[in-house]
Amino acid sequence: MSSTELPGVRANPEPSSQVGAVRVADGEQLRTVRLSGLELNVRVRPPEREGLPPALFVHGLGGSSQNWSDLMARLADTVDGEALDLPGFGWSPPPADRDYSLTALARVVIRHLDAAGRGPVHLFGNSLGGAVSTRVAAVRPDLVSTLTLVSPALPELRVQKSAVPTALLALPGMAGMVGRLTRELSAEQRTRGVMGLCYGDPGRVTPQGFRDAVEEMERRMALPYFWDALTRSSRGIVDAYTLGGQHGLWRQAQRVLAPTLLIYGARDQLVSYRMARKAAAAFRGSRLLCLPQAGHVAMMEYPEVVGAAFREMLSDTGVGAGATDRNAGNDDNDNDDGRG
């Protein structure tokens, strides 16, 4: 589980659907996607040339599409990339039904890809987004060309102590208690705490990057639904961890047919480094990249290394543009749009 953009100090609330003031990196564009009962903010990185295969990037708990900006920029010569803000995060308003379960989030990704007609895509996921992407790849293999997971939030029997506070947010009333206990902290203090938890080396964050993170914390904390989104999403992860049978995440990992790249950081305080070998065994034919100095968000700390590993996977597997029918021979395809 990750929390890359935790609460900051309160400011005047902004309209939840407004995206005009969202920070956009050079070369990026923003798009608002409206589906039935759902509005999504999508960050687009136009490809450097026509005909590149599509890619979709899914952030972790407390994060946003902005977490992928550096990596998308480095892959602009390889994929036609876009990153979405999951409902209730970044600049996407909360879902009308307030359903933040893993199943609901996977269904959001599937609905977006079906509506846009972009599949199959090179699918990337970090932490919570990694769990969501695993489920999407398992139940809709026709939508996924390759799967790249950075510290995916897959069930662990022994959760690291440093990850316990995030998991506790799933308990009723805990979010309110945390808010009361931490309301005296400044945005700068909160930002340093989050970076210390998520980065293997917080010193890699530039001064401008730190100021941007503080500003984003202030904005996010002002949103009236902030704690509800964080709490319900945390509960969704915990609930998904308890599922067994064909809907269990480890079982679904075994069903993934797409070439898979797994990336783990040895300094990750939220997803245990020891899970890397188990994940490599679960995802058939996967390749594993372990980064000794990285923490929970390797795509933000070492985007050049992650990008190079992704290109190597494409080169070795021969997977590129064009749809590949992965349904053939997959008699375990539920066609359930993420239900589980």
Over 321-333, what HEC string results?
CCCCCCCCCCCCC
Q: Is residue 11 part of a domain?
A: no
Token look-up 């005009």 returns: 20
Q: Is residue 34 part of a domain?
A: yes
Give the number of domains in the chain.
Answer: 1
Q: Is residue 153 part of a domain?
A: yes
Question: Which pLDDT score is estimated for 328?
Answer: 36
Residues whose CB falls within 8 Å of the CB of residue 280, separated by 6 or more in sequence, listed in order: 262, 286, 287, 288
Q: Is residue 331 part of a domain?
A: no
Question: Which pLDDT score is estimated for 227?
Answer: 85
Residues whose CB falls within 8 Å of the CB of residue 273, separated by 6 or more in sequence, listed in order: 264, 265, 266, 267, 290
- Sites in the chain below the pLDDT cut of 50: 1-20, 163-164, 168-171, 174-175, 321-340
Q: Is residue 230 part of a domain?
A: yes
Q: Is residue 20 part of a domain?
A: no
Question: Which pLDDT score is estimated for 36?
Answer: 87
Contact in structure between 72 and 81 (CB atoms under 8 Å): yes
The CATH number of the domain holding residue 267 is: 3.40.50.1820
What Cα–Cα distance (Å) separates residue 336 from each residue in 58, 107, 109, 136?
20, 9, 13, 10
Q: Is residue 328 part of a domain?
A: no
Domain, as residue range, for 33 = 29-317
